[in-house]
Chains A and B, each alone.
Chain A
């Protein structure tokens, strides 16, 4: 559907050399911490922001210099931007009226949209009298009445409370599947990104980090930033020294698969990234699994039992060169965790208690090793990692 290379800058490049190719009917998420340029990118697509250089192509046509009204895109704003002086009906009908549609056509299309969005009983009300979720639906109604080439969402759920957010998320997913319309969705919430998107573009300071399906992002993050951004609780980063197939971690030495070991041979000090879910209480592992990973013993600092699973926290000391990289990463991710600790997710049946010296099993096939200087994932499986742009 489009092929964009664009640079944006007034001295400061808010979006720098990003290329994303979106297929017809695809649901693409732009995600990243605040200030990463995702909203700017979206606004450039819709035409509210000038494009400094590069080409914005929609359906094979260059639209860089077209006004927003000529691009035939529909957008849902973060604060909905409903017209308060118009009723819900007129709000939804607004784009149709501008297009000069006949009254009969307006009636038909608005009714159809309001039916889809269950807004029938609110059509004569003013937006001021609606709840947040209803306003959100009106904003979506205004987008779907026109046969737009694509939907653009700018953090549409960030103004809703947690429960409503979950509902609307499924609602948006359902609507998109039903209408089969190309959608670009901006969010800073990685849960929304993971659940909604066919593909997710992770951005950091105006640079595209990785463009891949949620599963690929989760299992094969291209660099430290993506690895730390995707997943909750986030991936653990540990200092690691590789020697053959043995990796020395702060908690002990574990074995890694030979193919991974080969790719990191002779690199010296690395950062190992392991998802909390890759750990397990060694006593709960059945023997058929046990040989896939290694076990180590460590002191558990804090335990959070959630019923179906248990989070255990294990503090560790990191050498300064790794520490520095991890601090920088925290800054990039808008985080502020001060201590280096390992967060592991155990089965709810685990009896590990605070202060225990526990035997922990780790699935080393799921471990990634990152270059501490560049942050690149050295063990990434490029076959299953989508696109990872390389920057000089």
Chain B
């Protein structure tokens, strides 16, 4: 019953529909990135480039040759990684405390965290712009890392504290009896066990930081800190009245690659980290 051919076919068709729905824009961007500039100005609505308008890797090379683009990619990777690492470290420590310790104001911390996550990003841009200019964080990496962290921490803390709660108390107690300090028990037993949670939090944080546009465009003014989504919008090319759509598409595809790589790497960790057999199953 559970494995009838009909059922299998149904699942396959369903999956295909969802994939098509989700990936069609991506496929279109890729298609666009391989068309030459003329092909677009002349109007070439087909999915595949028309005769003689196939541009090969030209657009990619052109995008990559752009100094501004390379700076933006570098900024994005740097800012996102720093925000992710800091956010995960702080969230891990905070979540552990929330899951294991009884302290006054625990509820307050959790609800405040949730409230921050619910705050509309746009409403903070104005005040942040003023503040950052006043204290000199405007157009710096730190100026972006801080808001990214504060918006991703709540979710990371909630995710991780759920993971920590799942880990039996006995694990730390066993480690302590075995001669570990609290810190050693945390680092050698608890963190490895919560690895799937840590990586989940890391992916979510990285996504947020990488995809952010509002902060990226409002809190930067030069290549010093402008991340890739904001930078793409400044990508005008030689002729300001004729935006290089295929060049932009190529840039967008390049900007997507790091995130795919990160997901693939972390995803393996998430699966491998799934644990069982700590205690009686």
Contact = CB atoms under 8 A, between A and B. Distances in A.
B260 to A, nearest CB: 27
Given A80-B279, A82-B278, A69 B173 contact: no
B41 interface: no
A83 B180 CA distance: 13
A225 B195 CA distance: 49
Interface of A: 46-48, 67-69, 73-75, 77-85, 94-95, 98-99, 126-130, 132, 135, 142, 146, 159
A81 B192 contact: no
A346 to B, nearest CB: 40
A17 B219 CA distance: 66
27 contacts: A47-B176, A48-B176, A48-B177, A67-B176, A69-B176, A69-B179, A69-B181, A73-B177, A75-B177, A77-B170, A77-B174, A81-B168, A83-B174, A85-B192, A85-B193, A94-B178, A95-B178, A98-B178, A98-B180, A98-B184, A99-B179, A126-B277, A128-B277, A132-B280, A135-B277, A142-B174, A146-B179
Given A126-B277, A129-B277, A159-B280, A83 B176 contact: no
B270 interface: no
Nearest to A152: B177
Contacts of A73: 177
B171 interface: yes
B20 interface: no
B189 interface: yes
Interface string B46-60: 000000000000000
Nearest to B167: A84
Contact of B174 (A75, A85, A99, A132): A75
Contact of A81 (B171, B184, B195, B276): B171
A127 B277 CA distance: 5
B275 interface: yes
A37 to B, nearest CB: 18
Q: What band does the interface of chain B fall in when counting residues whose beta carbon is under 8 Å from A?
A: 20 to 34
Given A67-B176, A69-B176, A126-B277, 17 more contacts: A47-B176, A48-B176, A69-B180, A79-B168, A79-B279, A79-B280, A80-B279, A81-B170, A82-B277, A83-B175, A83-B278, A84-B278, A85-B193, A85-B195, A85-B273, A98-B188, A128-B275
A161 to B, nearest CB: 12
A46 B275 CA distance: 27
A110 B180 CA distance: 18
Interface string B151-195: 000000000000000001011011111111100100011001101
B193 A84 contact: yes
Interface string B217-228: 000000000000
A74 B177 contact: yes
Contacts of A146: 178-179
B112 to A, nearest CB: 30
B173 A77 contact: yes
Interface in B28-43: none
Contacts of A132: 280
B170 A84 contact: no
A307 B129 CA distance: 90
A127 B278 contact: yes
Nearest to B173: A48
Contacts of A84: 193, 275-278
B179 A81 contact: no
A130 to B, nearest CB: 7
A173 B244 CA distance: 81
Contacts of B273: 85
